[in-house]
Each structure stands twice: as structure tokens, then as C-alpha cells.
């Protein structure tokens, strides 16, 4: 569904939501999340298959998370002047739990 | 006019550069007066409006019209002739004519020729001046050609201003400028919509604490919002602004969270006897309290609390109350003596010097704060206390201690406080330089202090602080020498060359000898340095180059 652009070629990883939606995002963007970074860089199954199943995060939420990962990656080098990241208020609590888990 | 001028101020120079001078202003005023006289009373108000507008324009367009003055191009000549015609007065000297040139701008409603396409048009208040310093105005269509460009310029201007602002704001919050964390974004959003939240759910204690903190800061911790944090399993609660909670809400804390072990309530002015009695009864596991501003609670209630729960308390912090006096302290001492490790009394107005010997019973203390209670502090009491608990004491905070003298340093701290790590002697205006130096020089029983505050110890100077640096350079993490006025740069050279490998925070506000060179040197030489607070150091300018990772806050040039 959501795809991030990478500079050269595609080094993508796959995030799978609890309800089966698959999000392919650039590895760089995924590394924004401390949890995902440890998963992909560890010795586990995830680092071999480049694919993480997030059982506690549903599709809608994961889409927002991916959006944030790309937003963070894009603005990392110029953090002084960035557009606001929009979050629908009804999503805030669930998103907080998810972001707490993902360490973003 | 002679070209020879005497010395004048920067303001005069600036005004002259902008073409504003007293003569021109007077002439403009006279002109307005005269016109008002001619035009009669009927359009007096309108005229006044225009002259005012005139004045504003003069300033902004003065620089652009200055160049053209020499060329005396055709439109300029026209303007001049018109001005002089209108004035119907004899030509004065050439200089005045030039000044008039500069301030003259066609009035709205006049017919003018466009400076670019030469078409006739009616001047309005919005007519733009010609580009690139040319004389005259632009017609509507020529002016709007540039509108887009100007808009863009303005946008970049605004965004760069925004950026500067956000950088400055982050500096003040002691944070780096970075992309906000998704958690923090969510927390802010939740705090904004807190009234619509029914339940916070499983968001973790750290995030709960963060939300409670933001709500406290926004002053929106109220009776309805406080319930969100009252989860049965919670063991620690910290509410930093309870001023909006009624006494029933305080009771809810005890009835919803029976497992509570540590409770921080700040600004709890509405907390009553009834509430503390309820806490006494319900909170069986409580072992740390910090009540700031619980000024409604009376002595008998405190006594009851300490009698019933005292034997389990390890940490007590009470501040900003007048209703806590000797009898309450007696109860605290009698009941908590076996367990109490940390005691903090700050701004407790009814404790006096005669009451402090009670503390001699608290033999387990490892942290003692008696701050902003100058009436209670005397040399003898403090020395007696230090004799007793000094050998185990890790933290000692005696802020606002100008009733104490050097004896405390030499007979109390030096011989007894071997394990001391945190020492705060803020506002100790009677401690002398020599005594401080003697305290730290060859202080072998102590292995080094970690956190030291000598804020506003005004009699202290180089010798004392240098002795401190020599003694604790290897261990110092936080050093506050705010307002130690008489320090000179030799102290900072010493600090920079002493290999303070852990020093991470430094407050050097109002130490006037510190300049760009010194802070640059410190940032270069202290590898762990993260924060330098430099409020009121006028010699530190925006030129000072900091190593990445070191934040310097409080510079005058950083203001928004």
C-alpha cells in the first residue's frame, strides 16, 4: 500500500499488520524504529526474510506508523522547519501504544 | 551645509542614513498644517490620514530613492516641480529640495505615470514603488507582476523566522532540535483531547507519567482527567499541579490505587486533613511522600499520619507550608527514625533553630535537605547533625543558608562527610573563599563530589572554586557556579585542563569573566559536556562555536 522511495534501487522490508495488510517500506525508514532495527539487525528470522509480522498493530494503524517512519526519515536532516505530522485524534491512544512498542 | 560633523550617536547616524531628520519632519508638519488651513475643516481628518501614511512610506522608500537623486532623471524632476508648485513657496536651498524629493510620494487618488510601462494610472495606497531603486510608482498591472515573487520571498522569510523560533524554543527546553517522536506527538494530542478520553488503557507507566506531566503544565489536571491515571496496579503517581483538584479527587487516589508506594503531589493546596487521614488509612504500602504546598493540613493530622505510617516511610519531602511545626516534626522523628533515609524540608516556615536538634534522632539519613529556611539554620545544629550522620550522608542541600558561616564547612563537612556526592550551598553568602579552599584542599576522606552548587556564594572566588575543581575534577557531573561574580578566567582554564571527563552540565550564569574563548575551550576540552547555561553572560556572543552535542543556552543573541 504505502511505498517509500529510496535513492538507488530498492532495499525494502515488509511489515505485515495483524489483519494481513502488507506494507513495503525502505529499510532506512524502518530503521527509524528502534524495535524494528533490532529485529532486522538481529540474528532472528526477521533479518533473513526481511519481513516482520506485527501482531498487535492493525492495518490502519500500521499505515500511519509507516507514514511517520517516512516522515521522520525525510526530515531528519532538516528538523528545524517541518510540516506538522497529522494524526486523527481518535487514533492517538492506539498509536501511542504502537509507537511505544516500536520505540519511535 | 558643511560636511564637518561632530561625533554623534548610532541612532542619529541611523536616522540620517534613512533620510529622517528633524528638518524634514518639521517641514512635513508645517505643510500639513498649511494644507489643513487651506482645505478648511471639511476634509481635515482625511488629510491627516494621508500625511501619516506619507511618513511611513518615507522611511521604507528612502533608500531606494536616494540613488536616483543624483541622476535627477525625468520623473524625479517632475516630482520635484510638482512638489514645489503645490507648496507655492519660494525655493529654499538645494539640500532642503533634495529632502523634499525623498519624502514626496504621490497621494492616493492622483494620476501618475507608471515607472515601467509609462501608462497613466491612479495612485492608490497599495501602489508599489518602482523596482531596483528607480523613481516613481508602478501601475496596477506592473505591480501585480511582482506580487508572486514577493509572496514567495515573504514565505521563505516567515519559514526561516519560524525555524529560528523553534530552534530557540528547543534551546530553552534544553532539547536538541529533532524530528519529534511519534510517542510525543501522540501524547500531546491526547493531552489536547483529554476531556474526550474515557480510558487511557495499557500505554505504559512512563507514558502515563508523561501525559500527567503535560496536563500539569497545561494546568488541565482536573477532577475528571485525574481519574484516567488512577489504575489499581499503579505503584507510583506524580502529579505536579494539583491546584485544580478538589478534596474528593485526592480521596479517589487512595481508593483506586491501594498499591501505591510513592506519591508526589505538588501544589496540593486543596488537600485537607480528611484527605491525609484517608491516605493514612488506605495506603498501606506507602513509603515515599512528597507534598508541596499542603498548607491546609494541621499538626494533629500530620501526627496521626506519622504515628500510623511512619514506621514504613523511607522518604519524606514537605515544602511550602506553615502548619507543620515542632510537634509534627517530633512525630516524624519518633516514628520514622528506623527507616527514614531521605528527608527534605523546604520553606517550612514554622520550624526554627530550636527544633532542628530533633533531627539528631534520624540516624539512617543518607539525604538531607533543609532549604530556604534560614531561620532554622545555625552552625551548631548543622555541625551536630553532620557529626552524627555525616559519614553516611550522600546528599546535602542547605540552599539559602546565609545564616551559616565557615564553621559548617570546616568543622562539619570536612571532617565528617566522606561519602558526600551532592552538595548544594546556594545563596551561602557568608562562606568565604579561604574556607572553601581549605575544605576541598587535600580532602582525603572524600572521593570526589558529583553534583555541586555554589550558586550566589558571592564571597567565594577563584581560590575556593579551583580547590573544588582540583579535588573533584574526575567525578564532577553537574556544576553550578551561577553568580559567583569574582571568578576570573584562570578558573575556567583550570576547569578546561583538568580532564573533567564526566562534567555534563555547567551553569555559569552571571559570571562576567566568561566569554566566547572560555566557553569554546570548555566545549572542546570536556568530552561529556552537554549543557552550558549562560544567562547574563554578555561576553558570550553568537560567534562562540560549540562542539556538536554541546548546547549553550541563555545567550542574548539567541532570543526569539
Angle formed at CA B468 by CA B465 and CA B474, multiple of 5 degrees: 130
CB-nearest partner of B182 from A89, A93, A95: A95
Residue B81 in any domain: the answer is yes
- Please state the rounded mean pLDDT for residues B205-212: 87
What per-residue confidence (pLDDT) applies to A6? 37
- Provide the whole-model pTM: 0.69
Instruction: Examine the predicted complex and report whether its ipTM is higher than 0.95.
Output: no
Identify which of A72, A80, A99 has the shortest CB distance to residue B177. A80
**HEC per residue, chain A:** CCCCCCCCCCCEEEEECCCCCEEEEEHHHHCCCHHHHHHHHCCCHHHHHCEEECCCCCHHHHHHHHHHHHHHHHHCCCCCCCCCCCCCHHHHHHHHHHHHHHCC
Residues 58-97 of A with CB under 8 A from B: 65, 68, 71-72, 75-76, 79-82, 85, 87, 89, 92-93, 95-97
**Among B321, B351, B381, residue at a domain's last position:** B351
CA-nearest of B287, B264, B178, B267 to B217 is B267
Q: Which residues of B touch A65 (CB under 8 A)?
A: 182
Confidence of residue B67 (pLDDT cuts 50, 70, 90): very low
Task: Find all residues with CB under 8 Å of B436, minimum gap 6, and list them.
Answer: B409, B454, B457, B460, B463, B464, B465, B467, B468
- Torsion angle in degrees (nearest 10) through CA of B287, B290, B296, B300: 30
Same-domain status, B199 and B283: yes
The yes-or-no verdict on residue B165 having pLDDT over 80 is no
Length of chain A: 104
DSSP state at residue B323: S
Rounded CA gap, B522 and B495, in Å?
8
Question: Can you tell me the mean pLDDT for A44-73?
Answer: 91
Residue B62 is predicted with a pLDDT of: 41
Is A100 within 8 Å of B178 when comparing Cβ atoms? no
Smallest CA-to-CA distance from B481 within B521, B512, B502, B440 is with: B512
> Do B186 and B84 belong to one domain?
no
Which residues, other chains included, contact B45 with Cβ-Cβ below 8 Å and sequence gap of 6+? none
Are residues B193 and B101 part of one domain? no
The answer to whether the Cβ–Cβ distance between A96 and B186 falls below 8 Å is yes
Residue B169: pLDDT band (50, 70, 90) is confident
pLDDT at residue B44 above 50? Answer: no
Across the range B99-104, mean pLDDT stands at: 56
Mean pLDDT of B179-186: 88
DSSP E strands in B357-495: the ranges are 367-371, 395-397, 422-424, 451-453, 478-480
- Shared domain for B303 and B220, answered yes or no, is yes
- For B486-532, how does the pLDDT look when each residue is reduced to its tens digit (9 = 90+)? 999 999 999 999 999 999 999 999 999 999 999 999 999 999 999 99
Give me the residue spans of the domains in chain A.
12-102
Is there a single domain that holds both residue B187 and residue B299? yes
Residues B199 and B285 both lie in one domain:
yes
**pLDDT, position B176:** 66
Alpha helices per DSSP H over B369-488? 379-389, 406-407, 414-416, 433-440, 462-472
Same domain, B312 and B210: yes
Chain A contact for B147 (CB, 8 A cutoff): no
Distance from CA of A58 to the nearest CA of B (A): 16
B194 → chain A, closest CA residue = A89
Structural domain of B33: 1-105
The verdict on residue B262 lying in a domain is yes
The total of structural domains in chain B comes to 2
Examine the domain organization and report whether B86 and B199 are in the same domain. Answer: no
Q: In terms of pLDDT, which residue wins out, B164 or B216?
A: B216
Nearest CA in chain A to B200: A93
- The 10s digit of each residue's pLDDT in B426-468 is 999 999 999 999 999 999 999 999 999 999 999 999 999 999 9
**pLDDT band of B36, cuts 50, 70, 90:** confident
Residue B515 lies in a domain: no
In a domain, B520, yes or no: no
Q: In chain B, what is the straight-line distance between the N-terminal and C-terminal CA atoms, in Å? A: 42
Q: How far apart are the C-alpha atoms of B231 and B227, rounded to whole Å?
A: 8
Per-residue pLDDT averaged across B351-370, rounded? Answer: 95
- What distance in Å separates residue A54's CA from the closest CA in chain B? 17
| pLDDT of res. A46 | 83
Is 50 exceeded by the pLDDT of residue B303? yes
List CB contacts (< 8 A) between A93 and chain B.
186, 190, 197, 200-201, 203
For residue B497, being part of any structural domain is answered with: no
- Same structural domain for residues B335 and B201? yes
Q: Confirm whether B437 is domain-assigned.
A: no
Work out the pLDDT band at B18, boundaries 50, 70, 90.
confident
- B185 with B101, same domain: the answer is no
A35 vs B: CB within 8 A: no
Please give the DSSP secondary-structure letter assigned to residue B137: B
Q: Are B416 and B387 in contact (CB under 8 A)?
A: yes
Mean pLDDT rounded to a whole number for chain A? 85
CATH code where residue B264 lies:
3.80.10.10
Q: How confident is the model at residue B68 (pLDDT cuts 50, 70, 90)?
A: very low
The per-residue pLDDT for B535 is 92
**pLDDT (tens digit per residue) in B468-494:** 999 999 999 999 999 999 999 999 999
Separation between Cα atoms, residue B481 and residue B467, nearest integer Å? 14
Q: Span A12-102: which CATH code?
A: 3.30.710.10
- Report yes or no on B45 lying in a domain: yes
Q: What is the pLDDT of residues B221-258, one digit of tens each?
A: 999 899 899 999 999 999 999 999 999 999 999 999 99
Percent of chain B with pLDDT over 90: 54
Q: What is the pLDDT of residues B109-141, one digit of tens each?
A: 888 888 888 888 888 888 888 877 777 888 888
What gap in Å lies between CA B476 and CA B470, rounded to an integer? 11
In a domain, B24, yes or no: yes
Please give the average per-residue pLDDT across B3-24, as a whole number: 73
What is the per-residue pLDDT across B392-419, written as a single tens digit (0 to 9) for each?
A: 999 999 999 989 999 999 999 999 999 9
- Residue-wise pLDDT tens digits, B322-331: 999 999 999 9
Sign of the CA dihedral with B303 first, then B305, B307, and B313 last: negative
Amino acid at each position: 500500500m504505502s511505498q517509500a522511495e529510496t535513492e538507488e534501487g530498492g532495499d525494502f522490508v515488509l511489515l505485515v499488520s495483524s489483519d494481513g495488510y502488507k506494507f513495503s517500506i525502505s529499510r532506512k525508514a524502518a530503521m527509524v524504529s528502534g524495535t524494528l532495527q533490532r529485529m532486522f539487525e538481529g540474528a532472528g528470522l526477521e533479518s533473513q526474510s526481511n519481513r516482520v509480522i506485527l501482531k498487535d498493530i492493525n492495518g490502519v494503524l500500521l499505515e500511519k506508523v509507516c507514514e511517520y517512519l517516512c516522515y521522520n526519515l525525510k526530515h531528519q536532516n532538516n528538523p528545524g522547519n517541518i510540516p506538522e505530522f497529522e494524526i486523527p485524534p481518535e487514533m492517538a491512544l492506539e498509536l501511542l501504544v504502537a509507537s511505544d512498542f516500536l520505540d519511535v | 551645509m558643511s560636511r564637518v560633523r561632530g561625533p554623534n550617536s548610532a541612532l542619529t547616524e541611523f536616522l540620517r542614513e534613512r533620510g529622517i531628520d528633524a528638518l524634514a519632519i518639521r517641514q512635513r508638519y508645517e505643510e500639513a498644517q498649511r494644507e489643513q488651513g487651506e482645505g478648511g475643516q471639511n476634509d481635515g481628518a482625511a488629510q491627516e490620514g494621508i500625511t501619516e501614511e506619507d511618513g511611513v512610506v518615507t522611511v521604507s522608500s528612502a533608500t531606494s530613492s536616494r540613488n536616483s537623486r543624483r541622476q535627477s532623471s525625468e520623473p524625479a524632476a517632475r516630482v520635484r516641480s510638482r512638489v514645489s508648485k503645490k507648496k507655492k513657496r519660494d525655493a529654499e536651498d538645494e539640500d532642503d529640495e533634495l529632502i523634499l524629493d525623498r519624502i514626496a510620494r504621490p497621494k492616493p487618488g492622483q494620476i501618475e505615470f507608471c515607472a515601467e510601462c509609462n501608462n497613466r494610472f491612479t495612485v492608490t495606497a497599495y501602489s508599489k514603488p518602482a523596482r531596483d531603486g528607480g523613481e516613481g510608482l508602478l501601475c496596477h498591472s506592473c505591480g501585480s507582476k511582482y506580487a508572486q515573487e514577493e509572496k514567495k520571498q515573504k514565505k521563505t522569510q516567515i519559514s526561516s523566522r519560524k525555524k529560528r523560533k523553534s530552534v530557540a524554543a528547543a534551546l530553552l527546553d534544553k532539547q536538541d532540535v529533532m524530528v519529534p517522536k511519534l510517542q510525543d506527538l501522540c501524547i500531546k494530542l491526547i493531552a489536547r483531547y483529554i476531556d474526550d478520553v474515557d480510558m487511557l488503557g495499557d500505554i505504559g507507566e512512563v507514558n502515563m507519567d508523561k501525559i500527567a506531566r503535560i496536563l500539569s503544565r497545561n494546568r488541565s489536571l482536573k477532577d475528571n482527567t485525574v481519574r484516567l491515571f488512577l489504575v489499581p496496579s499503579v505503584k507510583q503517581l506524580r502529579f505536579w499541579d494539583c491546584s485544580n483538584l478538589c478534596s474528593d479527587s485526592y480521596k479517589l487516589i487512595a481508593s483506586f490505587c491501594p498499591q501505591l508506594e510513592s506519591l508526589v503531589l505538588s501544589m496540593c493546596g486543596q488537600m485537607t486533613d480528611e484527605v491525609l487521614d484517608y491516605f493514612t488509612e488506605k495506603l498501606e504500602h506507602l513509603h515515599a511522600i512528597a507534598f508541596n504546598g499542603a498548607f491546609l493540613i494541621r499538626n494533629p493530622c500530620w501526627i496521626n499520619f506519622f504515628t500510623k505510617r511512619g514506621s514504613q516511610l523511607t522518604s519524606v519531602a514537605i515544602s511550602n507550608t506553615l502548619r507543620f511545626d515542632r510537634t509534627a516534626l517530633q512525630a516524624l522523628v519518633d516514628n520514622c527514625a528506623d527507616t527514614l533515609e531521605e528527608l527534605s524540608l523546604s520553606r517550612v516556615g514554622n520550624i526554627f533553630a530550636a527544633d532542628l536538634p530533633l533531627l539528631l534522632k534520624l540516624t539512617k539519613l543518607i539525604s538531607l535537605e533543609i532549604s530556604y529556611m534560614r531561620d532554622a539554620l545555625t552552625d551548631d545544629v548543622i555541625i551536630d547533625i553532620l557529626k552524627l550522620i555525616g559519614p553516611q550522608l550522600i546528599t546535602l542541600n542547605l540552599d539559602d543558608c546565609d545564616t551559616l558561616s565557615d564553621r559548617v564547612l570546616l568543622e562539619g563537612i570536612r571532617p565528617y562527610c566522606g561519602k558526600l556526592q551532592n552538595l548544594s550551598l546556594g545563596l551561602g553568602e557568608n562562606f568565604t573563599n579561604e574556607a572553601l579552599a581549605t575544605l576541598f584542599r587535600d580532602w582525603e576522606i572524600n572521593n570526589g563530589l558529583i553534583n555541586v552548587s555554589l550558586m550566589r556564594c558571592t564571597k567565594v572566588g577563584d581560590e575556593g572554586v579551583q580547590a573544588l575543581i582540583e579535588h573533584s575534577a574526575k567525578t564532577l557531573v553537574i556544576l553550578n557556579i551561577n553568580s559567583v561574580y569574582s571568578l576570573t578566567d584562570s578558573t575556567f582554564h583550570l576547569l578546561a585542563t583538568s580532564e573533567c571527563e564526566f562534567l555534563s552540565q555547567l551553569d555559569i550564569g552571571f559570571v562576567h569573566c566568561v566569554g566566547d574563548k572560555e566557553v569554546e575551550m570548555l566545549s572542546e576540552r570536556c568530552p561529556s559536556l552537554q549543557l552550558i547555561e549562560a544567562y547574563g553572560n554578555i561576553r558570550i556572543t553568537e560567534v562562540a562555536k560549540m562542539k556538536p552535542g554541546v548546547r549553550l543556552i541563555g545567550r542574548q543573541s539567541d532570543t526569539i
